[in-house]
Structure formats: C-alpha cells, structure tokens
Amino acid sequence: MASPTSRWRGAPWQGSLTAAGWGFVGTGAVVLIAAQLMGRRDLLHLSVFLLLVPGVAWLANRLFRPGLSVDRASDPPVVEAGRTAEVRLAVGHTGVLVGRLSMAEHLPASLGEGPDFAYPGHTVGSDGVSRYRYQLACAHRGLYVLGPVEARSTDVFGLAEQRTRIDYGTRLTVTPAAVPLAASVLSGLRGIDGVIATRMQANPSEDDVMTREYRHGDPMRRVHWAATARHGQLMVRQEESATSPEATIVLDLRRDAFPAATGRPAPPGEWAPGSPEFEWAVTATMSVAAHLAELDYTLRLLDADGALALSHSPSSSVPDAPDFSGREGLAQVAEGLAAILPRGGENGTAALAPHPDEGFGDLLLDRIEAHRQRGPLVAILGRTTAQDARILAPAAASAERALALVVTDHPGACRGAVQTLRAAGWLAIEATAHTRLEAAWLALTAGTQSW
C-alpha cells in the first residue's frame, strides 16, 4: 500500500553564476584591463564577449524556468524499524526546458544520503512524467520527512544555474520492532476457548450465582439438582457470559523517569530519539503488546498518571482510542509508539515546567480497577522510587497477574521499588538498556530482582 503522495508546485527559483560563469567574468575583467592599458580594440571586443556570455546565460535561465512538480510515495507508508521501504518519485514539468536539469532528494542525516538524478530520466511515461525509485533502510523508530527535492537548472554551457525546492517533503513513520517473548510467563491465565467468564453475583451463594429458575423450554440436562432441593423448585445452570480477555499496559512517560531522554533540538525533518533506557522501554511495550495481541487480548495502554499513553504521541492515528484489538489495533499501537517521548519532551527537547500530574495517581488505579481480573497488567517503568512503587503496588490485586519491567541507567538504582512491588504480589525485575528484553521477560518468573 502506498502512502499519500506529496505534491507541491515549486518555490521561487534562486539564480547565480557557476564557477565556470565566474571564471568568464574574471577573465573578461582581466582582458578589459589589458585592452585599456595596451589600447587594443580586439581585446576590448573579447572582454565584452567574455562578460556578456555569462550575463546572457543567467538571463536565459531566468526567462526559461520550467514549472516543476513532484509526487512522492513510500511503500509501505508505515515501516517497521530494521526493514526497508521503497520510495517512488514522479517528477513532471510545464514550460520549456533549456539547458540541463538535475535533481537531488534531501533526507534526514540518520537515513543517509539522498539520491541524485538527471531530468528527464530514463523512465518517462506517455504523460511526460519521469519516474524514479530508491530503497531506504530504516534503522530506528521515529517520524521522518523525506525530501524536499531540490532542482538545479543550468544553461547549455554550464555558466549560470538556478536552484529551487519543488515540494514540502513526505512524512515516513518508522515503528519500533517487536521482540518475540516467551509464552510461559503468562501461561495459565486464559481459558481453552480464549475467553474470560464473568458472572453477575447477586448473592454470596455459589449455587445461586450459577443457577436460575427453570423456564419452559430449558433442557433437563441443565437442571441443577442441589439448588433444586434447596429452593424447592426446579433450578437450572445459567450460561456464563463470556467476554474477550483484556490486558493493561502501563508505559511510564514521566519526564523524571528518563532524565537523559531530553537533549538538544533536532534539525527540521530529523528525528531525535529518547535515551537508551526510554528506547528500551518503548521496544518492551511494543513487544509485550504484540505478545498479548497474539494471545487475542484486547489492549489498553495507559500512562503513569492514568491518561491514555498514545494521546501524547504525535504519530498516533487514534490518540483517543481507549483500547486496541486484533491486527489493526496492534498496527495502531505500533504507529502510536513510533514517535512517543516522555512527557515534556518534544522531538528531543524538554519543557521547562513539569507536568501537573507527574507520577502515579488515583486515576491510574481506578482505571486498572475498572477492568478487575479480566487479564494481566504489565508495567514498563523508568526510574522509580520505593515511594512511587508503594502507590502502584495495590494495582496487583486488580489483575490476574501483575508484571513490572523497571529499566534504569544504573543497576540497583531501583532495587527498593522492585522489592516493594514484589512484596505486593507483582512479578518485577530491574533491567538496564543493555539487558536483552527476552531474557528480562523470562527472568520475571525466575525469582531474581535484577538482570
């Protein structure tokens, strides 16, 4: 599937003489001086010619400027980190082409050098549009701007040139790549049918929860004889209502949890990633989401303050979506994680004022409690104190299983938080940016506190 194309009529041309043109001007000036000193009319004619030629070339470039347009599309428009995208360009013009015309595609430095190509190209359609394509290796997640294309027009002698940028560029979204995780860590949480049974409990008696009065047409095989004897009338087992299993992922976006994620602003069109610890946390979130989606869980992504985590992401196509399910939902999660940064960080810069709700709060606990016992709770945390952990610790009682991956820049820096969470029933482990994610995931059930 190709991305929406970028189309824009060019900016104003900016002209100048080339090195060869300035050579003509310099030579003409020297010959003119020599003609004056020596009184040679022939040298005077030569100097006028040398000075006139670059001027005529510059004027011709100004008068015969083609109108250029470009369409750009990337396939796929959203690519996973570590994979390759194919970029297609279609360049056309109106007006008369005089001299030579070349193009150069500008790319962010992290994506490498953009290609140069001559115009018209080798592949020209019946509509006169030249088509080009090139491969782009996408190593890291982020939002990138491909382009603009810069056109360079010179006269037939190469004495004068005109330059212009002929489009705004096209956005390319690179999502984090998921790491395969062992299924044994979450084994035993789901039923055979892949659903969670829910019962509306009106009375404390288990028989009363499971039974109701006999109705005409109910099969006799559903009669609950123990409840029938107790109530003195026919009682049948009621069908349990089944709901899809749900999983909650908490991605820590507190600015103080990843202090090294803030840095100098990125150049226009360039993407500035977070700290190694935050990048590890994003990869962990993507991997856990992919693992849970494969097990048919509906996903819910929350921030440490209880807000929707992807509402902070400039790359999210559905920032207000409360949950995600299926392949489409996982793709939306991946797209949202492409450009997510800690709160207060905007493309590598940090806001001076802290977030008003910095830290764990009641909203987070309330939202976890609202989906009590419907599936696992996975928290991917940055630098966390024991006091922060005490606030989050009670959430374990609302989940079938609570797991926490705490990533920090110094081993042992969050040992107190890990101990607090484990004491409250969490499976928790401390990791660093150098820890292999799949190893840390397996270590959650191994009893170790750091990896």
- Whether 240 has a pLDDT exceeding 60, the answer reads no
Q: Bridge partners of 411?
A: none
Instruction: Specify the pLDDT at position 200.
Output: 40
- Write down the pTM of the prediction: 0.80
Position 191 confidence tier, pLDDT thresholds 50, 70, 90: very low
Q: How many CB atoms lie within 10 A of CB 352?
A: 5
Instruction: Specify the pLDDT at position 123.
Output: 77
Region 226-241 average pLDDT:
75
Tell me the CATH architecture of domain 6-16+64-175.
Answer: Sandwich (2.60)
What's the rounded Cα separation, in Å, for the pair 54 and 63?
Answer: 14
Which two tokens mark 359? 């830290």
- Whether 192 has a pLDDT exceeding 50, the answer reads no
Instruction: Specify the pLDDT at position 220.
Output: 74
Higher pLDDT, 372 or 333: 333
Position 291 confidence tier, pLDDT thresholds 50, 70, 90: very high
The values of phi and psi at residue 305, to 5°, are -95, 5
Higher pLDDT, 357 or 317: 317
User: What is the separation of C-alpha 234 from the centre of its chain, rounded to a whole number of angstroms?
Assistant: 59
Instruction: Specify the pLDDT at position 11.
Output: 62
What's the rounded Cα separation, in Å, for the pair 229 and 287?
Answer: 52
Higher pLDDT, 135 or 200: 135
Reported as a single tens digit per residue, the pLDDT across 318-327 is 999 999 999 9
Whether 244-443 and 6-16+64-175 are alike in CATH topology: the answer is: no
User: For 117-126, b where at least 16 C-beta lie within 10 A, e where not — what string?
Assistant: bebeeeeeee
- Whether 349 has a pLDDT exceeding 60, the answer reads no
For residue 62, what are the contacts with CB-CB under 8 A and spacing of at least 6? Answer: 13, 15, 162
Cβ atoms of residues 114 and 171 within 8 Å: no
Domain ranges of the chain: 6-16+64-175, 200-239, 244-443
- Whether 345 has a pLDDT exceeding 90, the answer reads no
Tracing tokens 């360079």 back to the chain, one arrives at 152
Region 365-369 average pLDDT:
92
- Sequential DSSP letters for 48-87: HHHHHHHHHHHHHHHHSPPEEEEEEEEESSEEETTEEEEE
Region 232-238 average pLDDT:
79
Which range among 133-142, 340-349, 406-415 shows the weakest confidence by mean pLDDT?
340-349
In whole numbers, what is the pLDDT of the chain averaged over residues?
Answer: 85
Reported as a single tens digit per residue, the pLDDT across 120-153 is 888 787 788 999 999 999 999 999 999 999 999 8
Which range among 39-43, 350-354, 368-372 shows the weakest confidence by mean pLDDT?
350-354
Instruction: Specify the pLDDT at position 204.
Output: 41
For 244-443, CATH number out of 3.40.1350, 3.40.50, 1.10.12, 3.30.450 equals: 3.40.50
Reported as a single tens digit per residue, the pLDDT across 143-183 is 999 999 999 989 888 999 988 888 889 999 999 999 999 99
Instruction: Specify the pLDDT at position 21.
Output: 92
Percent of the chain surpassing pLDDT 70: 84
Position 237 confidence tier, pLDDT thresholds 50, 70, 90: confident
Which range among 13-22, 33-42, 88-97, 345-354 shows the weakest confidence by mean pLDDT?
345-354
Nearest to 365 by CA among 402, 329, 316, 340: 402
Looking at mean pLDDT, say which of 13-17, 120-124, 308-312 comes out highest. 308-312
Instruction: Specify the pLDDT at position 230.
Output: 82
Query: Count of alpha carbons within 13 Å of 120, Cβ hemisphere only?
Result: 15
Position 260 confidence tier, pLDDT thresholds 50, 70, 90: low
Instruction: Specify the pLDDT at position 6.
Output: 46
- Whether 241 has a pLDDT exceeding 70, the answer reads no
What's the rounded Cα separation, in Å, for the pair 280 and 431?
Answer: 10
- Dihedral of the CA atoms 364, 365, 369, 373 (nearest 10)? 90
Cβ atoms of residues 426 and 403 within 8 Å: yes
Cβ atoms of residues 66 and 101 within 8 Å: yes
Instruction: Specify the pLDDT at position 361.
Output: 83
Nearest-10 crossing angle of helices 19-38, 41-63: 150
Cβ atoms of residues 278 and 261 within 8 Å: yes
- Whether 56 has a pLDDT exceeding 80, the answer reads yes
Higher pLDDT, 16 or 290: 290
